[in-house]
């Protein structure tokens, strides 16, 4: 297994399982497999639930761990950072 295969597996998991698009920020070999960090821009759920016109999005990081055969064994969403601003009509 190499880093290109790992990156492709991570992208496939993100697209097909999580139904998200993102940018791999980090990918590397660990003792018994691989790990990757993926940055994803997502609509802010709180602002969306309030039905406020907005250009606020969250930049989230997903941490994905794969075993030596490139099977995803875990993932975790961490770190929300707002990107953009809300708009109000007066």
Residue 38 in contact with residue 62, Cβ under 8 Å? yes
pTM, rounded to two decimals: 0.78
Q: Which CATH class is domain 3-83?
A: alpha beta
Residue 77 has pLDDT above 80, yes or no: yes
Measured CA distances, 61 to 42, 49, 67, 79 (Å): 10, 22, 20, 6
Residue 57 has pLDDT above 90, yes or no: no
Strand-pairing partners, residue 29, are: 34
Residue 70 in contact with residue 5, Cβ under 8 Å? yes
Q: Where are the beta strands (DSSP E) in the chain?
A: 23-30, 33-43, 57-67, 72-83
User: What pLDDT sits at residue 6?
Assistant: 97
């Amino acid at each position: 297994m190499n880093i290109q295969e790992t990156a492709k597996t991570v992208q496939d998991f993100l697209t097909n399982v999580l139904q998200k698009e993102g940018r791999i920020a980090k990918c590397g070999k660990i003792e018994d497999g691989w790990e990757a960090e993926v940055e994803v821009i997502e609509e802010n759920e709180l602002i969306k639930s309030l039905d406020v016109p907005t250009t606020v999005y969250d930049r989230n990081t997903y941490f994905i761990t794969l075993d030596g055969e490139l099977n995803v064994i875990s993932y975790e969403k961490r770190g929300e950072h707002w990107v953009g601003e809300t708009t109000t009509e007066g």
